Amino acid sequence: MKLVLFDCDGTLVDSQHVIVAAMTRAFARADLVLPPREAVLGIVGLSLVEAMRRLGEDDPRFPAERLAELYREAFRELRAEQDFFEPLFPGVRGVIDKLAARDDVVLGIATGKSQRGVAMVLGHHGLDGFFSTIQTADDAPSKPHPAMVLQAMAATGAEPEDTVLIGDTSFDMVMARAAGARAIGVTWGYHTTELLRQSGAERLVSDADELMRAIDEVWEAVP
């Protein structure tokens, strides 16, 4: 049995606008200057407190935990607004449908989102029940620690060589390789192609059609 794990933000859904908006509100409420947009998107995928620590350049005086709470508060507010939307990237729904129809594949998610956040995304896009294992920041240490992938493999009975993680950040690639899994980087997300390659991506894909081919190719290739 093959296990295909997806990251969420930047891989399945384009969350950049709402993430930046929530960060803007959080930093404003803490009377702090928001880092550049590139820096904010660069920490997408990490758990919230770890993300805030990195934005604060690991300064022990930086209020990472307070900012994480302010971000959660802002995100809840934005979710309640009418124009809140985290769209699926083009072609992603078709990839999920094709993989879900295969007898030799189970699907999972490994994300820095909370379980509640993932449930909201899946429910909005009619994807409830497609994923056999959902590993989140609620359940494991922050990426790039391999725990999410290890837990997903344990939950589904998949072997490392039969597991592939699909993500858009260096954190995803490092996490997958640390767990002994395969790693595919998508270039439509928040980290650069070069960073994905340097972090261990076996394949880099730029659209959904390439992704379907790459999934089979990494299993056919000798590790």
- Positions annotated as catalytic residues are 7, 9
Q: In what order do the strands lie in the sheet with 163-167?
A: 133-135, 105-110, 2-6, 163-167, 182-186, 203-205
d(CA 59, CA 130): 41
Of 91, 85, 108, 125, residue with least CA distance to 179: 108
Q: Which residues pair with 110 in a beta bridge?
A: 135
d(CA 12, CA 121): 10
Q: How far apart are the first and last CA of the chain?
A: 17
Q: Which residues contact 1 (CB under 8 A, 6 or more apart)?
A: 104, 105, 106, 156, 157, 158, 162
CA angle 19, 178, 219 (to 5 degrees): 95
Which residue bears the tokens 């990472």? Answer: 64
